[in-house]
A and B are shown apart, each in its own frame.
Chain A
Amino acid sequence: GAVVSQHPSRVICKSGTSVKIECRSLDFQATTMFWYRQFPKQSLMLMATSNEGSKATYEQGVEKDKFLINHASLTLSTLTVTSAHPEDSSFYICSARHTQGAGEYGYTFGSGTRLTVV
């Protein structure tokens, strides 16, 4: 159980275009999802928390107009990188939170999206 699907796994786009990445919880409802960015050989940097039916909460230093997050249903959150530039090239990973008992949560990660902006 608790499977998360992230799509696409790889995308190459031209500078100035927008790219949408999808994160789906396949067998559970995820009211809260998370988006991370990972630079080569570095840890995951939490970008934002995505809450179903409400606005995302962005971490300090993350441009909300650049990284648009939509969580319109209990099983889908999307991250749109708008007007992408080469410096946005990175590995983006989503995570969905699910309950594991009273007050306990588990976090399942998607397989990631390698974005290359040329």
Chain B
Amino acid sequence: AQSVAQPEDQVNVAEGNPLTVKCTYSVSGNPYLFWYVQYPNRGLQFLLKYITGDNLVKGSYGFEAEFNKSQTSFHLKKPSALVSDSALYFCAFSSGGSYIPTFGRGTSLIVHP
């Protein structure tokens, strides 16, 4: 079955340090890959997506993600973490532009002051 995996339940990072939230995918063909963020008791907010083209995708709030086909990964990164980045992050995929994304289990990011 096609899926995305987020191997870490939680990521801890100090404010100002770079952060990485990992995602690997098992999707046939050319997947559409997404990152969403969820703040406590809120809905999901779209961060970025990869469809085709440049493997490095830049998104909202200074986040970026790199599509790596050989490693089947789509890790989310930010050069300098903020305490306000603390939230739940979801990687997602779809099989095409007309298909609703399917979400990974989520990774809780905690940025310490």
Contacts and interface: CB of A to CB of B under 8 A. Distances in A.
A49 B100 CA distance: 10
Contacts of B97: 100, 103-105
Interface string B17-41: 0000000000000000000100001
Label chain A's interface by main secondary structure: strand
Interface residues of A, number: 27
Nearest to B91: A43
Contacts, number: 53
A51 B97 CA distance: 18
Contacts of B36: 109
A83 B5 CA distance: 36
Nearest to A38: B38
Contacts of B41: 9, 91, 111-112, 114
Given A43-B104, A109-B43, 7 more contacts: A9-B41, A34-B100, A41-B108, A44-B90, A44-B103, A105-B98, A112-B42
Residue with the highest number of chain B CB atoms closer than 10 Å, among A43, A49, A106: A43
B83 interface: no
28 contacts: A4-B43, A9-B41, A34-B100, A41-B108, A42-B105, A43-B90, A44-B44, A44-B90, A44-B103, A46-B100, A93-B43, A100-B97, A103-B96, A103-B97, A104-B97, A106-B46, A107-B100, A108-B46, A109-B36, A109-B43, A109-B44, A110-B43, A111-B41, A111-B42, A111-B43, A112-B41, A112-B42, A112-B43
